[in-house]
């Protein structure tokens, strides 16, 4: 039996649109068209990463987690969400499913608002790469083998 | 009016045993019993169930899973539902349940059945272990032990991988289990194995050992079915009017069987085998119906083996003549004392410095008096193939046979583990023996087989 992807997508769009009730108070909302675009991004990311998901699932969680970020506003909302979705699924595989959805999203939000200061490139190429490396090698999520050097460098900068 | 049989719209022969649920859907759709919306509704319910299962699989940690995992979960769901639908004797009723009952409920009923079958399979496993045969066959013993099929009862996951068979099964049954998978496969396999054991236990382990030894002296390492050999021999005994329990057929008996069976066509052969089978039932007092059915099912395969053998005039390969390994003549080969290490070292040095092959042979002939020294020397001096062959030419059949016993011909895969020198000696010896007349080759092999404690 083939999984009916259109049925899954329709179900997901409905769930995403429902998130507007929460995000509206931050001045953010998604149209039906934009919700469909997010679902398409998700479908593509899932396909590229060889995964499958049911319901709105992660998109809803990402929206709810990131909607209060100071670096997200109306103009970059959809674009950022699209990128966050891609990044999420890529690192879901890279972390070998060793971290739960909620933990990964919380880590992303924390890094995005903190060390990355709203930079998706830093989030993707540095913080999450470090996280994936740590988990693959059995270290804690926040372990850093260059912790001392980083501190020294930080001192030099200031 | 004679018997009226209810006509089913869905034919059972079109339904796959392994993927029953899918095949019943396909058949119902092609017969027009399910329309597009029915199929879509079933699909949607299956997806919901898959979503629920994947959530349980991830223990709520992750909403997405890898596609191969999802496929495996879906297979497990469809397999479990199929088990329940298969348990409904009326296929049309099964279809109506499929339309009216929720997929999640069908799945739950399937899970219950899987658990019942799991318990039944464990019972069959204990029964098969209890009536296990006393045999040297490795694949048989391994399959029945805890590391073989026993793994299944530790590893089987009815919730997420109900369709899977996590077991090491090397031993092949006489009647291969087809079109089944998961717990159904194991249950059937173990029941059939139990039946095969039950039949073979009518014969003394010693007689089975002699029969299998007659089939091949290395039968312990072969992937053969013991029941098939025993049943064939018993049928042969019944046809030749000899003692069935002995499983013994002489050369004359096989010749008699050839003369008797060669005149039969396929139908007559089957009839003759059926009569022989009934006399086996009587002689061994077999009354259990399932065992009788199983033996009857095995006749087709045996009949086909006999037919082919009759055509090729190789009936002695089907009706095996038992061999008692204790009565095979044995040769005890003893090498004389080895030379001392210092002397051996200087000999090797001399041989390595020697330029001419004829001189090397002369030195070996003069100084080597022990077989063990000769064997060591072949490995240490790295003689060329021509030199080795010249050396072999100076040896008698017993020495060659002893060398063959020590350096048997190995397949390329097995030989990979051997050191280079040993591989070379084995290869040169093989080439040398292959170059000998066939009669002498057989004589050497016979001596090598008879050499003991070497």
pLDDT-based confidence at B125, cuts 50/70/90?
Answer: very high
Inform me whether the pLDDT recorded for B2 exceeds 70.
Answer: no
- In the structure encoding, which two tokens stand for residue B125, read together? 């496993």
Instruction: Give me the pLDDT at residue B332, please.
Output: 78
Instruction: Give me the pLDDT at residue A150, please.
Output: 54
Instruction: Give me the pLDDT at residue A158, please.
Output: 45
Inform me whether the pLDDT recorded for A63 exceeds 70.
Answer: yes
- Largest Cα separation within chain A, whole Å, is 62
Spatial CA neighbour of B291 closest among B224, B192, B187: B192
Which segment of A13-22, B272-281, B325-334 scores lowest on mean pLDDT?
B325-334
Inform me whether the pLDDT recorded for B64 exceeds 90.
Answer: no
Taking CB atoms and an 8 Å cutoff, what residues of chain B touch A5?
none
Inform me whether the pLDDT recorded for B1 exceeds 60.
Answer: no
Encode pLDDT of B73-104 as tens digits. 999 999 999 999 999 888 888 888 888 899 99
CB B289 within 8 A of CB B302: no
Which segment of B157-171, B176-190, B210-224, B341-355 scores lowest on mean pLDDT?
B341-355
Which 3 state secondary structure label does DSSP give B66?
strand
Inform me whether the pLDDT recorded for B449 exceeds 90.
Answer: no
Encode pLDDT of B401-446 as tens digits. 888 888 887 666 666 777 888 888 888 888 899 888 988 888 888 8
Which 3 state secondary structure label does DSSP give B331?
strand
Inform me whether the pLDDT recorded for B29 exceeds 50.
Answer: yes
pLDDT-based confidence at B282, cuts 50/70/90?
Answer: very high
CA distances from B117 to B158, B189, B198, B384 (A): 11, 13, 21, 64
**Rounded CA gap, B308 and B443, in Å?**
30
Instruction: Give me the pLDDT at residue A2, please.
Output: 45
Determine, for residues B25 and A53 on separate chains, whether the beta-carbon distance falls below 8 Å: no
- In the structure encoding, which two tokens stand for residue B61, read together? 């940690």
Instruction: Give me the pLDDT at residue B97, please.
Output: 87
Which segment of A107-116, B137-146, B195-204, B258-267 scores lowest on mean pLDDT?
B258-267
Determine, for residues B25 and A1 on separate chains, whether the beta-carbon distance falls below 8 Å: yes
- What single DSSP character describes residue B151? G
Instruction: Give me the pLDDT at residue B394, please.
Output: 86
**Rounded CA gap, B315 and B339, in Å?**
52
Taking CB atoms and an 8 Å cutoff, what residues of chain B touch A101?
61-64
Instruction: Give me the pLDDT at residue B399, please.
Output: 87
Mean pLDDT for all residues in chain B: 88
**Rounded CA gap, B409 and B398, in Å?**
17
Q: Which residues pair with B66 in a beta bridge?
A: A51
CB B82 within 8 A of CB B129: no
Q: b/e string for B281-314 if b means 16 or more Cβ within 10 A?
A: beebebeeeebbebbeebbebbbebbbebbeeee
**Rounded CA gap, B136 and B326, in Å?**
15
Encode pLDDT of B37-51 as tens digits. 888 889 889 988 998
Spatial CA neighbour of B141 closest among B132, B153, B152: B132
Chain-centroid distance, C-alpha A94: 13
Give me the torsion for CA of B177, B178, B181, B185, rounded to 10°: -20
Instruction: Give me the pLDDT at residue B196, please.
Output: 96
Q: For B52, which residue in chain A has the nearest alpha carbon?
A: A54
pLDDT-based confidence at B3, cuts 50/70/90?
Answer: very low
What phi and psi values does residue B65 have, to the nearest 5 degrees? -135, 165
Other C-beta atoms within 10 Å of B39: how many? 16
pLDDT-based confidence at A149, cuts 50/70/90?
Answer: low
Q: Which of A1, A3, A53 sits opposite B63 (nearest CB)?
A: A53
Q: What is the mean pLDDT of residues A74-81?
A: 95
CB B211 within 8 A of CB B184: no
Which 3 state secondary structure label does DSSP give B409?
coil
Inform me whether the pLDDT recorded for A55 exceeds 70.
Answer: no
Query: How far A41 CA lies from chain B's nearest CA (Å)?
Result: 15
Which segment of A42-56, B133-147, B163-177 scores lowest on mean pLDDT?
A42-56
**Rounded CA gap, A73 and A28, in Å?**
7
What phi and psi values does residue B194 have, to the nearest 5 degrees? -60, -45
Q: What is the mean pLDDT of residues A37-42?
A: 91
Instruction: Give me the pLDDT at residue B405, please.
Output: 85
Determine, for residues A92 and B25 on separate chains, whether the beta-carbon distance falls below 8 Å: no
CB B163 within 8 A of CB B21: no
Which segment of A25-34, A145-154, B180-189, B379-388 scores lowest on mean pLDDT?
A145-154
**Rounded CA gap, B128 and B193, in Å?**
7
Q: Which pairs count as long-range contacts for B423-427, CB under 8 Å and 24+ apart, including other chains?
A: B424/B382, B424/B385, B425/B378, B425/B379, B425/B388
What phi and psi values does residue B451 have, to the nearest 5 degrees? -70, 130
Interface check B61 vs A, CB under 8 A:
yes
Residue of B243 and B412 predicted with greater confidence: B243
Most confident of A58-62, B195-199, B418-422: B195-199
Instruction: Give me the pLDDT at residue A74, please.
Output: 92
Determine, for residues B63 and A57 on separate chains, whether the beta-carbon distance falls below 8 Å: yes
Q: Where are the alpha helices (DSSP H) in chain A?
A: 5-18, 20-23, 32-48, 58-66, 77-94, 101-113, 120-122, 128-136, 147-157
Q: How many CA atoms lie within 13 A of B218 on its CB side?
A: 4
pLDDT-based confidence at B326, cuts 50/70/90?
Answer: confident
Residue of A65 and A7 predicted with greater confidence: A65
**Rounded CA gap, B339 and B437, in Å?**
34
Taking CB atoms and an 8 Å cutoff, what residues of chain B touch A58?
63-64
Sign of torsion over alpha carbons A48, A51, A53, A56: negative
Interface check B68 vs A, CB under 8 A:
yes
**Rounded CA gap, B138 and B170, in Å?**
9
**Rounded CA gap, B126 and B153, in Å?**
11
With vertex at residue B360, the alpha carbon angle to CA B354 and CA B361, rounded to the nearest 5 degrees, is 175
Taking CB atoms and an 8 Å cutoff, what residues of chain A touch B65?
51-53, 97
CB A84 within 8 A of CB A108: yes
Sign of torsion over alpha carbons B398, B402, B404, B405: positive
Residue of B387 and B10 predicted with greater confidence: B387
Mean pLDDT for all residues in chain A: 86
Inform me whether the pLDDT recorded for B233 exceeds 80.
Answer: yes
Residue of B326 and A18 predicted with greater confidence: A18
Q: Which of A4, A61, A89 sits opposite B43 (nearest CB)?
A: A4
Inform me whether the pLDDT recorded for B333 exceeds 80.
Answer: no
Q: Where are the alpha helices (DSSP H) in B88-161?
A: 91-100, 103-130, 138-144, 152-155
Inform me whether the pLDDT recorded for B26 exceeds 90.
Answer: no
Chain-centroid distance, C-alpha A10: 21
Instruction: Give me the pLDDT at residue A154, please.
Output: 52
Q: Which residues pair with A51 in a beta bridge?
A: B66
Matching residue, tokens 């919730």: B159
Inform me whether the pLDDT recorded for B5 exceeds 60.
Answer: no
Interface check A94 vs B, CB under 8 A:
no
């Amino acid at each position: 039996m083939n999984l009916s992807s259109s049925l899954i997508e329709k179900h997901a769009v409905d769930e995403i649109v429902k998130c507007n009730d929460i995000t509206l108070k931050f001045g953010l909302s998604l149209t039906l068209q934009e919700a469909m675009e997010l679902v398409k991004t998700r479908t593509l990311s899932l396909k590229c990463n060889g995964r499958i998901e049911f319901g709105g699932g992660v998109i809803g969680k990402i929206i709810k987690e990131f909607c209060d970020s100071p670096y997200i506003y109306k103009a970059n909302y959809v674009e950022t969400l699209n990128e966050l979705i891609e990044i999420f699924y890529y690192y879901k595989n890279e972390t070998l499913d060793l971290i739960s959805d909620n933990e990964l999203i919380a880590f992303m939000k924390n890094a995005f608002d903190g060390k990355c200061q709203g930079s998706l490139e830093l989030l993707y190429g540095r913080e999450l790469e470090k996280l994936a490396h740590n988990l693959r090698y059995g270290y804690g999520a926040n372990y850093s083998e260059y912790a001392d050097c980083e501190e020294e460098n930080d001192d030099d900068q200031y | 009016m004679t018997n009226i049989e209810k006509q089913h719209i869905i034919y059972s022969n079109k339904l796959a045993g392994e993927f029953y649920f899918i095949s019943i859907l396909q058949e119902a759709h092609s017969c027009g019993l399910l329309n597009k919306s029915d199929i879509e509704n079933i699909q949607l319910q299956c997806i919901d169930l898959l979503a629920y299962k994947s959530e349980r699989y991830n223990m709520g940690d992750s909403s997405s899973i890898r596609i191969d995992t999802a496929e495996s979960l879906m297979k497990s769901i469809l397999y479990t539902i199929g088990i329940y639908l298969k348990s409904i004797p009326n296929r049309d009723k099964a279809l109506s349940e499929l339309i009216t009952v929720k997929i999640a409920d069908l799945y739950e009923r399937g899970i219950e059945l899987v658990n019942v079958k799991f318990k039944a399979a464990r019972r069959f496993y204990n029964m098969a272990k209890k009536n296990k045969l006393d045999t040297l066959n490795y694949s048989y013993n391994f399959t029945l032990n805890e590391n073989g099929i026993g793994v299944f009862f530790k590893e089987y996951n009815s919730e997420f991988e109900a369709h899977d068979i996590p077991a090491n099964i090397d031993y092949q049954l006489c009647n291969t289990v087809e079109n089944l998978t998961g717990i159904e496969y194991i249950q059937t396999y173990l029941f059939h194995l139990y039946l095969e054991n039950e039949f073979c236990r009518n014969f003394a382990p010693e007689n089975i050992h002699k029969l299998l030894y007659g089939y091949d002296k290395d039968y312990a390492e072969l992937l053969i079915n013991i029941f098939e050999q025993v049943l064939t021999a018993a049928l042969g005994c019944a046809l030749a009017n000899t003692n069935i329990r002995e499983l013994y057929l002489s050369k004359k008996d096989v010749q008699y069987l050839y003369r008797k069976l060669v005149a039969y066509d396929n139908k007559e052969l089957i009839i003759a085998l059926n009569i022989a089978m009934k006399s086996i039932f009587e002689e061994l007092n077999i009354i259990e119906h399932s065992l009788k059915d199983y033996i009857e099912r095995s006749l087709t395969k045996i009949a086909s083996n006999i037919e082919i053998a009759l055509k090729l005039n190789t009936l002695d390969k089907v009706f095996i003549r038992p061999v008692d390994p204790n009565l095979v003549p044995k040769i005890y080969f003893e090498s004389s004392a080895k030379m001392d290490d210092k002397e051996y070292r200087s000999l090797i040095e001399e041989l390595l410095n020697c330029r001419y092959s004829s001189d090397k042979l002369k030195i070996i002939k003069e100084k080597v008096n022990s077989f063990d020294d000769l064997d060591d020397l072949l490995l240490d001096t790295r003689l060329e193939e021509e030199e080795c062959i010249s050396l072999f030419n100076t040896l008698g059949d017993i020495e060659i046979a002893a060398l063959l016993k020590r350096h048997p011909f190995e397949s390329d895969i097995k030989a990979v583990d051997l050191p280079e020198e040993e591989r070379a000696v084995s290869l040169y010896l093989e080439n040398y023996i292959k170059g000998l007349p066939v009669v002498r080759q057989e004589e050497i092999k016979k001596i090598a087989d008879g050499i003991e404690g070497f």
